[in-house]
Structure 1
Amino acid sequence: MSDNRYHLQIAKLCERLGLGPLAGNPAERSGGLLHRTFALTTASGNYAVKALNPVVMSRPAAKANFLRSERIAARMEARIPAMAAKSLGGGVLHDVQGQWYMVFDWVEGRACSPGEINEGHCARIGGILAEIHRMDVAGFELPGEQPTGEPPAPADWLGLLAKGLDGGFVWAPRLQELAERLYAWEALANRSAAALAPEAVVSHRDLGPKNAMWHHGRPGLIDWEAAGLIHPLLDTAETALYWAEDAAGLIDRDKLGAFMSGYARGGRLPRHAEWRPVLEHGFLGKLGWLAYNLERSAGSGTAAADERRIGTEQAVATLEAVVRHAERIDALAQWLEAFGSEQDGPDAKTIV
């Protein structure tokens, strides 16, 4: 398979893995930003099958990365409600004529929207993150991995802008406004990353609301693809902000406080942390996702219309998310430092 499109053969996958014949057509589930997921029933049970994005799987390190992340998820299952891929036929990755899959037991539940998330959800996830961070890094067999590694190569924002203007993409005017600032934020993030103390934990690294399936008040944590080493303060800040952001993109201080209190009860929160460099470091993940989706929107590496559409949507949203992050670093750093020293944040409902 060389055209980077999905070539789905789920019935053949089930046959090969001994899951039994399909009882009806697989139902595709919405919400995935990189891969496609299907709910299905066979003679042996109910499953979720993730068809892995062919563009992602064409990368040289992709298979090794999936194997590592699923090894982490499987080890996490003993301590937290992680949902790891099933090991079938001697492995967790399955190739059917060039299309790669993973299979999971189907578990009831759904992700909460920003408007549905309450302080209880935030406190629960904060406590789970603290439990994740308490796990011994040495037990995960991650030889040579570093929490940040070498600084990523700078994105070619002006080159991406040229593609956007030539192609008339909807994100091009906003990228033109922000291009020079993107270079500055990227440099700031790399300086801040270098300044952080060399401390690392193993974590999910993308534990936002879309990756927690709630059922009867209990979460199941999915999509461990990004799992690996990360600085604990960076992981805490990014995850807290995922859960505290409302539908308008504002940070709800009550939800942020609930998350941080849940995390602090795990005993992992330093009382005098410097949060500004942590928050500045946080630009890197957002900028990396932005660059990927600008390329994706412009059609680099794929001709699939759905891929370009998702890339466009994510590029537009991420440009605004980067700007919001820059605008609220001062207020967030002040709030987090006050919380860390007093275990209580300043008054006011939201942070812009």
Structure 2
Amino acid sequence: MDKYNFFHGIAEELSLGALTAPAERVTGGYLHEMYKLETASGKYAVKLLNPVIMKRPDVFENYRRAELLEKELCENKIPVVPAMEINGCKMQCKDGQYFYVFHWIEGKALAWDEIKAEHCREAGALLARIHKIRQVKEPSDIKEICADWDFYVTAADTECREIAGELEKNRDLLYYCQEQYNSALRLLPPVSCICDGDMDCKNVLWTDGKPVIIDLECLDYGNPLSEMFQLGLSWSGGTVCSMDYESLNAFISAYKKEYGDLNPDWNAIYGIGFSWLDWLEYNVKRALRIECGSEEERELGIGQVHETFQRIIYYHTIKDELLKQLSN
């Protein structure tokens, strides 16, 4: 795709104003591409949706649901950056490329080593506010992970040697963690609510010390305890394999104060922390060219396979200490 003509074209067609500088690629995302546009009328962020993702059979229904939930968050004064509605639509399309446009905001996404307990406290309370908007006393439709790791082990041996050894070495661990995750899913309390789906630190910008959520296309209905636990682990260092239990306690305590105590059985739901398996499988597919649109994306997938393995192995090793800290 000719990006130069593409961005000039959408600026004109969507009445954003003439470009005053070349479109600038913004780093940070692992699925889609984000660009900063400066025009005569202001600054915008344009998210180009991954063409491979857009081929999935339920993708438009999922995005439409997320758009409706995004409006609901705005109505409830949750600090978010919603996609702009232009010509009656949020999702736009030009030359077969689907995308969203946002007003650009000046904010900073914290690096992992910049996150302190006070940030976790703010994030936990904000997540609770989202979960409180609307709830239904019925099980959420979270799918079990049923990856055929043996298939990927065999395929990688011929199609991607870069990940073959890691998959083979950890084959038994993968099936163990998958069962742990699925068992924990079955023990979650039967309640559904609006869930962000991707509120890790890269998708929260800080302006004047306050959080603003971006990248809301993963909004959906889910289980509040599951998302709270996953994000608590992420914000307190699980993603970089360096847990800070003070930060984890700050996240969970602030969540409980805003939402109410869910009275979790931490040992029963410990396996929820292996939700990284879903991301691992997706990136294995990228590496094997099963679900991949370019060589750049394949290389990204290989890198994410290595990083995600580290997280899964790390989480497996900290079980005793984690449960001890959670029970205090």
Matched, 1:73 2:70: yes
Alignment partner of 1:294 out of 278, 284, 288:
284
What CA distance in whole angstroms lies between the structure 2 residues aligned with 1:184 and 1:219? 37
Alignment partner of 1:205 out of 192, 197, 214:
197
Give the AA of the match of 1:12: G
Matched, 1:151 2:144: yes
In 2, are the aligned partners of 1:69 and 1:226 still within 8 Å (CA)?
A: yes
In 1, are the aligned partners of 2:188 and 2:269 still within 8 Å (CA)?
A: yes
What does 1:91-110 align with in structure 2 at a 5 Å threshold? Answer: 91-110=89-108
1:38-73 Cα offsets, whole Å, 9 max, x none, are 011122221000010000011111122112112212
Q: Percent identity?
A: 30
Give the AA of the match of 2:280: L
Task: Indicate the residue corresponding to 2:37 in structure 1.
Answer: 40
Alignment partner of 2:311 out of 309, 315, 321:
321
In 1, are the aligned partners of 2:37 and 2:45 still within 8 Å (CA)?
A: yes
Alignment partner of 1:49 out of 15, 37, 46:
46
In 2, are the aligned partners of 1:124 and 1:262 still within 8 Å (CA)?
A: yes
In 1, are the aligned partners of 2:139 and 2:191 still within 8 Å (CA)?
A: no
1:15-39 Cα offsets, whole Å, 9 max, x none, are 2212122112110101110000001
Alignment partner of 1:244 out of 227, 230, 236:
236
What CA distance in whole angstroms lies between the structure 2 residues aligned with 1:148 and 1:279? 19
What CA distance in whole angstroms lies between the structure 1 residues aligned with 2:273 and 2:314? 12
How far the C-alpha of 1:80 sits from its partner, in A, is 1.6
What CA distance in whole angstroms lies between the structure 2 residues aligned with 1:277 and 1:224? 30
1:324-346 Cα offsets, whole Å, 9 max, x none, are 122223332332233xxxxxxxx
Give the AA of the match of 1:281: I
Task: Indicate the residue corresponding to 1:266 in structure 2.
Answer: 258
What CA distance in whole angstroms lies between the structure 1 residues aligned with 2:195 and 2:315? 22
SS at match of 1:101: strand
In 2, are the aligned partners of 1:200 and 1:232 still within 8 Å (CA)?
A: yes
What CA distance in whole angstroms lies between the structure 2 residues aligned with 1:146 and 1:85? 29
SS at match of 1:251: coil
Task: Indicate the residue corresponding to 2:129 in structure 1.
Answer: 131
What CA distance in whole angstroms lies between the structure 2 residues aligned with 1:44 and 1:50? 19
How far the C-alpha of 1:123 sits from its partner, in A, is 0.8
* Larger mean Cα displacement after TM superposition, 157-166 or 46-55: 157-166
In 2, are the aligned partners of 1:119 and 1:258 still within 8 Å (CA)?
A: yes
Task: Indicate the residue corresponding to 1:117 in structure 2.
Answer: 115
What CA distance in whole angstroms lies between the structure 2 residues aligned with 1:301 and 1:119? 38
Alignment partner of 1:229 out of 211, 218, 221:
221
Give the AA of the match of 2:268: P
Task: Indicate the residue corresponding to 1:341 in structure 2.
Answer: none
Give the AA of the match of 1:236: M
How far the C-alpha of 1:264 sits from its partner, in A, is 2.3
TM-score (norm 2): 0.93
1:173-225 Cα offsets, whole Å, 9 max, x none, are 11111112212221222122122221122110221111111122122101112
Give the count of matched residue pairs.
324
What CA distance in whole angstroms lies between the structure 1 residues aligned with 2:68 and 2:261? 27
How far the C-alpha of 1:151 sits from its partner, in A, is 3.0
Are residues 11 and 200 of structure 1, via their aligned partners in 2, closer, same or farther at CA, if it must alter by over 3 Å?
same
Matched, 1:306 2:305: no
TM-score (norm 1): 0.87
How far the C-alpha of 1:248 sits from its partner, in A, is 5.3
* Greater fraction helix: 2
Give the AA of the match of 1:169: R
SS at match of 2:302: helix
Task: Indicate the residue corresponding to 1:279 in structure 2.
Answer: 270
Matched, 1:216 2:208: yes
Give the AA of the match of 2:109: A
Give the AA of the match of 2:189: A
In 2, are the aligned partners of 1:40 and 1:46 still within 8 Å (CA)?
A: yes
In 1, are the aligned partners of 2:53 and 2:59 still within 8 Å (CA)?
A: yes
Task: Indicate the residue corresponding to 2:11 in structure 1.
Answer: 14
What CA distance in whole angstroms lies between the structure 1 residues aligned with 2:200 and 2:72? 20
1:124-162 Cα offsets, whole Å, 9 max, x none, are 111111111111147xxxxxx96234534x212111112
How far the C-alpha of 1:267 sits from its partner, in A, is 4.1
Are residues 247 and 226 of structure 1, via their aligned partners in 2, closer, same or farther at CA, if it must alter by over 3 Å?
closer
Task: Indicate the residue corresponding to 2:167 in structure 1.
Answer: 175
Task: Indicate the residue corresponding to 2:246 in structure 1.
Answer: 254
Are residues 94 and 7 of structure 1, via their aligned partners in 2, closer, same or farther at CA, if it must alter by over 3 Å?
farther
Unmatched runs of 5 consecutive residues or more in structure 1: 1-5, 139-144, 339-352
What CA distance in whole angstroms lies between the structure 2 residues aligned with 1:52 and 1:13? 15
How far the C-alpha of 1:7 sits from its partner, in A, is 6.1
